Structure 1
Amino acid sequence: MQLESGAVVEGRVTRLTDFGAFIQFENGETGLVHISQIAHSFVRSVRDHLEEGQTVEVKVLGRDEKGRLDLSIKELLDEPEEMPRPRAIGRQSPQFEAKLRSFMRDAKERTTGGGGDRKGGKKGGKR
């Protein structure tokens, strides 16, 4: 069996690591499914998705410069219709925005000489 880029083959998970899973094929060759190629969603732990001894179907992505097989499980899965979006930060309350504008206006007046010294303390020299 020749494992070429684009081939879809079945193999057995022989070892799990923090960065992926090693898959062995009938011909004795082994390749790596990197953690980023396990699922479309974020994979915190490879062990949450795969077990040693499990038979899986993988797609051969190609070979790296050292001739090692790069594999993917994710490429064979249907893509979710819509990827989850990060939760948007809600608009601040109008009261907060009014207080912030007032604070900024007062700060500008203090720094441009609109009354009092810059430190807001007593007038008339250093302490």
Structure 2
Amino acid sequence: MSIEVGSKLQGKVTGITNFGAFVELPDGSTGLVHISEVADNYVKDIHDHLNVGDQVEVKVLNVENDGKIGLSIRKAKDQPQHSSHNHHGNQRPQRHNKGNDHRSKESFEQKMARFLKESEDRLSSLKRHTESRRGGRGARRG
């Protein structure tokens, strides 16, 4: 049985590392599921999602000339039709600003001025907070 890119297969987790999991495929070959391909959300510890011996469904992402096989668990799951086009990092879901329509009509200079004012306000608030924790500027002990 040859491994083809795009095919979905059942496999068994044979090893876990800090960067992913090795999965044995039906034909006896082994592929790697990178930690970023384990789940749709951020995976800090792969052991929260997989254990050695688990049976998993994987999708073949690539097969290198040297025999390395790239696999994905999250892409093997059936995606809902309405969100399948939003999984390309460069496309964002559209937001609907019902109350903030005035922002879209602002010029670049107005947006920049508002950003600078908000940024300066946050910085001064942060400085006040950290200085009060340290005892202020004039509180030197000698």
Regarding TM over 0.5, the answer is: yes
User: Bigger radius of gyration, 1 or 2?
Assistant: 1
Q: Partner residue of 1:25?
A: 25
Alpha-carbon distance in 2 for matches of 1:11, 1:29: 10
Alpha-carbon distance in 1 for matches of 2:26, 2:76: 20
Q: Which runs of 5+ in 1 are unaligned?
A: 84-95, 101-127
Q: Which runs of 5+ in 2 are unaligned?
A: 88-119, 125-142
Alpha-carbon distance in 2 for matches of 1:46, 1:70: 17
Q: Partner residue of 1:34?
A: 34
- 1:25-59 C-alpha deviation (Å, 9 max, x unpaired): 22210000000101110000111100100100000
User: How far does residue 64 in structure 1 lie from its aligned partner after superposition?
Assistant: 2.9
Give structure 1 regions of 4+ aligned residues with deviation exceeding 4 angstroms.
none
Alpha-carbon distance in 2 for matches of 1:65, 1:27: 17
- 1:62-83 C-alpha deviation (Å, 9 max, x unpaired): 113522000001112337x699
1:21-100 alignment to 2 at 5 Å? 21-77=21-77, 78=79, 97=121
SS in 2 for 1:76: coil
Which has the higher relative contact order, 1 or 2, with Cα contacts under 8 A spaced 6 or more apart? 1
Alpha-carbon distance in 1 for matches of 2:53, 2:59: 18
Superposition CA RMSD, Å: 2.7
Alpha-carbon distance in 1 for matches of 2:75, 2:56: 13
Q: Partner residue of 1:124?
A: none
Deviates more, 1:69-78 or 1:27-36: 69-78
Q: Which has the higher helix share?
A: 2
User: How high is the TM-score relative to the length of structure 2?
Assistant: 0.54
Percent identical pairs in the alignment equals 41
SS in 1 for 2:47: helix
User: How high is the TM-score relative to the length of structure 1?
Assistant: 0.60
